[in-house]
Amino acid sequence: MKEEILQIKRIYSELVPRFGINHAKVFFSLLDSRPQEARELIENTGIPREKIYSVLKELAGFGLVKQAGSAPMRFFIESPREILRKKIAKREKELESKLCELEKIQCDRSSEKPRAYVLDVEKTKIFGLKSKNSVDDVEELRAIRRAVDEAINRKCRVLCAG
């Protein structure tokens, strides 16, 4: 099997559910940039006639392949690069949403045990609000600094306040 077909399978299986080797074969064949009939795809890919139409239907459903005409129907790919960019953007949005959900859960959980620190700039020390004791341990100071940096940089922090 061609290495390119395996690469296409690896690329798209990350972004498209159920993207298998037959999908990759058809996609690779359509990279020619010219529309092809199912008959041509059967010849190029070796996929049986009874299977090729279901593969083409699935690829169209994934938004990877388009069809033109009716008799005979031709299949093509508009812009593989643009298709991949859209899939990546969609996946990124899904993952960002999940990240916000996770951060909300973490924020809700951490609000049960509030931890607050005050930085006394004049004495260059950090104090825990509950204990009012000075935090002198270097590792604890580093952990506090990381926590403060994360809190400042967190995009979805607004969810915790609302």
Could you read off the pLDDT tens digit of each residue along the chain, which spans 162 residues?
Answer: 689 999 999 988 887 888 999 999 999 999 876 899 999 999 999 999 999 999 999 999 888 899 888 788 899 998 888 888 888 888 888 888 888 888 878 776 665 554 555 554 444 455 555 555 565 666 766 777 777 667 666 544 444 444
Question: Is residue 90 situated within a structural domain?
Answer: no
Residue 148: helix, strand or coil by DSSP?
Answer: helix
Contact 87, 77 (CB under 8 A): no
Question: Is residue 24 situated within a structural domain?
Answer: yes
Q: What is the pTM of this model?
A: 0.57
Beta bridge partners of 68: 74
Determine the distance from the C-alpha atom of residue 153 to the mean position of all C-alpha atoms in its chain, rounded to a whole number: 21
- Give how many domains the chain has, as a whole number: 2
CB atoms within 10 A of CB 147: 13
Pair 28, 73 in one domain: yes
Range(s) of the domain holding residue 128: 96-161
Q: Is the bond leading into 72 cis (omega within 30 degrees of zero)?
A: yes
